[in-house]
Amino acid sequence: MPQVVLVNPLIPPNTGNIARTCAATGTELHLVGPLGFEISDRYLKRAGLDYWPYVKLHYHESLEAFKSAHQARGGRLLGFSVRGSCNYLDFHFQPNDWLLFGSETTGLPLDLTSACDVTLYIPMNEPNVRSLNLSVSVAVGLFEARRQLGL
């Protein structure tokens, strides 16, 4: 099953909403620090409602710690970015993919983007809109992967 990775998320309600989506789908959620909030943040908890016991949460203190965890488990790193090279709808997802999303303000760090097997983008019609909300982007990418995999 694909896994969701948030690298340096900043806004607690976004991460809470993503955690709720992961809980509902049984998807593992990896948070890569530093975070822009504390895991105990009340806005994070409120957005995730009472679903936190169902979240398969992994916290990695640094990008290096995450890379070690990924290397131990294997699978492709798929970076989602407005500067991605492949439309996510044209991509063929695999069960062991890791879906990577960067912070709300800066996106994925360039060194991580270059380490990705592929960078994907979600097409938008309006050129004056810089990006979608992080929780929306995660849901769009995750549910397309799940659809393709018959989940």
Give the pLDDT confidence of 115-151 residue by residue, as tens digits. Answer: 999 999 999 999 898 889 999 999 999 999 999 999 9
Give the pLDDT confidence of 54-98 residue by residue, as tens digits. Answer: 999 999 999 999 999 999 999 999 999 999 999 999 999 999 999
Give the pLDDT confidence of 59-70 residue by residue, as tens digits. Answer: 999 999 999 999
Which domains are seen in the chain, by residue range?
3-148 (3.40.1280.10)
Was 122 annotated as part of a binding site?
Answer: yes
Average model confidence (pLDDT) across the chain = 93
Was 18 annotated as part of a binding site?
Answer: no
What pTM value is reported for the model? 0.94
Q: Rounded distance, CA 61 to CA 2, Å? A: 21
Distances (CA, A) of 79 to 27, 138, 143, 151: 17, 11, 16, 21
